Amino acid sequence: MTDTYAVIGNPIAHSKSPEIHAAFARATSHDIVYKRIFCELGQFAETVRAFQAEGGKGLNVTVPFKHEAFEFATRTSERAREAGAVNVLKFGGAARGAEVLGDNTDGVGLTRDITVNLGRELRGKSILLLGAGGASFGVVGPLLDEVPRTMVIANRTLSKAEALAQRFAARYGPCALSACGYDALSGSAFDVVINATSAGLSGGMPALPEAIFAPGALAYDMVYDKATPFMQYAQARGATVADGLGMLVEQAAESFLIWRGVRPATAPVMAALRGAR
């Protein structure tokens, strides 16, 4: 029987994950079906249980259910526990009560895209992470694993940036990681600036000081389906700009590895997606 997987979220219609996993399946000769599941708010556990009972083997989880997926899992990876969020579920069987593994591949998707696809070292570099919402939680640990020289989490609501930094303070020490509001960034420049805010979705961007990009800086936006004001701002100031398509494809490849034991090549899929735009 063909194994079935899906991506679950709200909204979900524009997810590229079915396309990406279909390409991975073709390239690795794995016989799988990969669907989209729209889930009503407040119905996550019921919807997942129904998919599991039908024999579904695993799910990718997207906005706004990553915290609920973390609660749903019966066993979680260390990186999922650090993030408090899960974007991959793997079912041990169809029965209710069967093990459900929860993992988080978002952060490793981002660091692989930056270090492998974009060829940028993060070791010894200064990183500025913009935002302290859901998109930031999964990426802080994997970014710190790359051993940057400094990392600053900046957010409009300072208390959220502080809470996120505090979550990692024990492991990394307070010197390497700090939190601030956007106005406190004035006078600082960074090698890598990552936009994990949702400001671009409504046509905005965080209020950044003019000189935020160090010479040769990388400006990375986790959004992948449009050019955001942050990307335009960065480009106008001479930074190299990247969108989040590579992160999406890399987190998908890590998910495929968890489910199927094989990590598909990502470059052909990324090229096809960019070509299709």
Cα(128)–Cα(3) distance, integer angstroms: 41
Cα(39)–Cα(59) distance, integer angstroms: 12
Among 199, 223, 234, 248, binds ligand ATR (CB under 6 A): 199
Q: Is 63 in the site for ligand ATR (CB under 6 A)?
A: yes
Q: Is 9 in the site for ligand ATR (CB under 6 A)?
A: no
Let me know if 66 is a catalytic residue. yes
Smallest distance from ligand ATR to CB 165, Å: 13
Q: Is 204 in the site for ligand ATR (CB under 6 A)?
A: yes
Among 17, 52, 76, 197, binds ligand ATR (CB under 6 A): 197
Q: Which two three-digit tokens encode residue 11?
A: 């909204």
Q: Which two three-digit tokens encode residue 114?
A: 């930056």
Cα(272)–Cα(125) distance, integer angstroms: 31
Nearer to ligand ATR, 2 or 232 (CB): 232
Judged by CB under 6 A, the stretch of 16-24, 27-35, 149-157, 187-195 that binds ligand ATR is 149-157
Strands 88-91, 100-103: pairing kind: antiparallel
Among 18, 84, 133, 229, binds ligand ATR (CB under 6 A): 133
Judged by CB under 6 A, the stretch of 52-60, 113-121, 139-147, 195-203 that binds ligand ATR is 195-203
Contacts 24+ apart (CB under 8 A), 271-275: 272/23, 273/16, 273/19, 273/20, 273/245, 273/249, 274/245
Q: Any idea which residues carry the catalytic annotation?
A: 66
